[in-house]
Amino acid sequence: MTHILKLDASARPGLAGIDEHGSHSRSLTHHFVTEWRARRPEDTITHRDIGLRPPSFINQDWIAAAFTPPEHQQPWMSGALAESNELIDELMAADILVIGAPLYNFGMPAALKAWVDLVVRMGRTVEYDPTRPEDPFTPLLADRPRHAVILSSRGGTGFEPGGALAQLNHLEPGLTTVLEFIGINRIHRIAVENQEAGGELLANSVAEAEGRVLELVTHLQSTIGEPSVAELA
């Protein structure tokens, strides 16, 4: 059975096309999980809405606790790391991480960056060995195959790889760097563009993105969660 962690980072609470000023990235994540459940209702989904309920920013207490070896931690440090542990446990349990994130000022929303800062943690999602200066980091989420699906929305166009404005897009490249750093390297990207233009240009972009989501669901379901030879025997 496959488990999905759905992460919505948009500050807009509704769905584009349904709610006034609704979110296109939320519409894409909703489309993904709806199509997934329609075909595999037995699979499980955890939804965390960091756009409406942002994670905490890291502070001095968090830093002190996160970089103190477990055997030397003081009692208060478990509380300082509680939220981080909860988010990391959710992420580690997932086979597929679905992130809905608009492009805000060329990068990720602050709520998503706060989530990143809480889940990228030495000893939990990555290990550091200073005795290996040529390759000191070990990604701890590379223990089994995991996929990440980045579903984004953009006001303009040309931000895709090879596009005229690709160098200004720090959302997907930034997330890709982070996810690969902790061991999630099967990454898929789909975006809605032309929000500012609206009209037919936006409608065509939405239709294309939704079609690509459907194709991705079909592809992932054909490769993930298939019974092993031992289970079939």
Q: Helices H, strands E: what count in the chain?
A: 8, 7
Q: Is 23 annotated as a binding residue?
A: yes
Structure-derived torsion over alpha carbons of residues 23, 29, 35, 39, reported in degrees to the nearest 10: -150
Residue 153 annotated as lining a ligand binding site: yes
Q: Is 24 annotated as a binding residue?
A: yes
DSSP strands (E only) in the chain = 3-8, 44-49, 96-102, 126-128, 137-139, 147-153, 186-192
Rg (CA), the chain: 19
The answer to whether 78 is annotated as binding is no
Spatial separation of the C-alpha atoms in residues 176 and 185, rounded to whole Å:
8
Q: 174 a known binding residue?
A: no
Is 163 part of any known ligand binding site? no
Give the separation between CA 190 and CA 149, rounded to whole angstroms: 8
Bridge partners (DSSP) listed for residue 44: 3
Q: Given the DSSP bridges, would you call strands 96-102 and 137-139 parallel, antiparallel or unpaired?
A: unpaired
Q: Is 25 annotated as a binding residue?
A: yes
Angle between helices 110-119 and 171-182 (to 10 degrees): 10
The answer to whether the annotation marks 56 as part of a ligand binding site is no
Residue ranges of the annotated binding site for FMN are: 10, 23-25, 153-156
Residue ranges of the annotated binding site are: 10, 23-25, 153-156
